[in-house]
Amino acid sequence: MEGNSTTNMRKTLIGELIRGRDCTEKLQNQLLRRVVDGGPESPEDLVMKIAASFSECLSTFSYPVSTYVGSACLDKTKKKPEPGAVKDRRGCYKRKTEDSRVEITDTYEDGYAWRKYGQKEILHAKFPRCYYRCTHKDDQGCKALRQVQQLEEYGSAKYRITYIGSHTCQNMNENTQTFLAPEDHSFSLINFKDSGIKHSPSSLSTITNGDTIVSFKQHDDSNAQGGNYLAPSSQGTSSNYGCEDMITNLDLSYTDIFKDDDLNGERDNYHASSSQATSSNYVWEDMITDLERSCDDIFQI
């Protein structure tokens, strides 16, 4: 009984993912000019189709589209216990609510001085999550926090960095300011339900959800040693390279899904237990969400 719905869900997902992957390949070919005639489908059409595939996949999960922003989606009606009511502050963590931002970047350096205060193995994550607070917490009371989660990548590591709170300390390195207040951004958001596309004037591409931002940065490794690794590139010249690169990433993400889920095999433990539905769907959701992000990057070009 559960098996049928699981199988149907798999079929839907696989079908949509294959469709999305095919569109990605076509798009990649068009951008690389491997085909003289790209056919009747414009890049915009292809990306739309990819987005539609994601939407379909996510709706298969009954997944609220365009709301994933990492753990920051925990922004629910939060009732806080009495501050100080706890005898010991240990473990008394506040859910990130007010001011959290998520960046996907290929370096965990951001120019700030951070002090690591914890590390945790995260379920379904290959790499542990590291917890940092601002070095100037003690002397200046800076409350900025960040979490660094290395994502599995192909050769070049990528990191999902969650910033919680803003720096109130003075020790900022101006040219490495890497995140913007929400009000400073024109949000670039793909709504996978209605395919609404908005363009950001910024070179940063961003997905937002309420008060949380997901942004993507590119990092020119050739400049990494100089320290100015976040120097903004001129938007015009980097576009093509960035687009190709991101589409390649999108393609790799598909490869990862198809490899990881072993579509021809029996890895149904992802989906087997209905009682474990949320955790078993997590891997798929997470990977598809990564695809969304890749796709969003493409839209920004």
Partner DNA sequence: GTTATTTGACCTGG
Partner DNA sequence: CCAGGTCAAATAAC
Contact status: 145 vs DNA (CB under 7 A): yes
What's the Cα-to-Cα distance from 261 to each of 24, 58, 166, rounded to whole Å? Answer: 19, 16, 38
Q: What is the DSSP letter of 71?
A: B
Nearest-Å Rg of the Cα atoms of the chain is 20
Of residues 160 through 219, those in contact with DNA by CB under 7 A are 164
CB of 158 to DNA, least distance (A): 18
Question: Using the rule CB under 7 A, which residue among 7, 8, 42, 117 binds DNA?
Answer: 117
What is the separation, in whole angstroms, between the first and last Cα of the chain? 46
CB of 289 to DNA, least distance (A): 14
Question: Using the rule CB under 7 A, which residue among 78, 126, 199, 267 binds DNA?
Answer: 78
- Per CB under 7 A, the segment of 128-136, 185-193, 196-204, 261-269 that binds DNA is 128-136
* Closest by Cα among 182, 257, 241 to 213: 182
**Residue 193, SS3?**
coil
- The helix (run of H) or strand (run of E) holding residue 120 is strand 114-120
DSSP result, 122-166: -TT-SS-EEEEEETTHHHH----EEEEEEEP-SSS-EEEEEEES-
Question: Using the rule CB under 7 A, which residue among 11, 94, 126, 198 binds DNA?
Answer: 94
CB of 97 to DNA, least distance (A): 10
* CA–CA dist 64, 288 (Å, integer): 13
- Letters for 273-292 (x = contact with DNA by CB under 7 A, - = none) are ------x-------------
Is beta strand 129-134 parallel, antiparallel or unpaired with respect to 114-120? antiparallel
Nearer to DNA, 92 or 224 (CB): 92
Question: Using the rule CB under 7 A, which residue among 123, 170, 225, 266 binds DNA?
Answer: 123
* CA–CA dist 204, 216 (Å, integer): 6
Contact status: 34 vs DNA (CB under 7 A): no
Contact status: 122 vs DNA (CB under 7 A): yes
- Per CB under 7 A, the segment of 10-18, 23-31, 68-76, 223-231 that binds DNA is 68-76
- Per CB under 7 A, the segment of 18-26, 118-126, 243-251, 264-272 that binds DNA is 118-126
Q: What is the maximal distance between C-alpha atoms in the chain?
A: 70
Contact criterion met (CB below 8 Å) for 225 and 109: no
* CA–CA dist 101, 106 (Å, integer): 16
Nearer to DNA, 127 or 258 (CB): 127
Question: Using the rule CB under 7 A, which residue among 37, 40, 83, 93 binds DNA?
Answer: 93
Residues that bind DNA (CB under 7 A): 71, 74, 76, 78, 80-81, 86, 88-95, 114-120, 122-124, 129-131, 133, 135, 145, 147, 164, 279
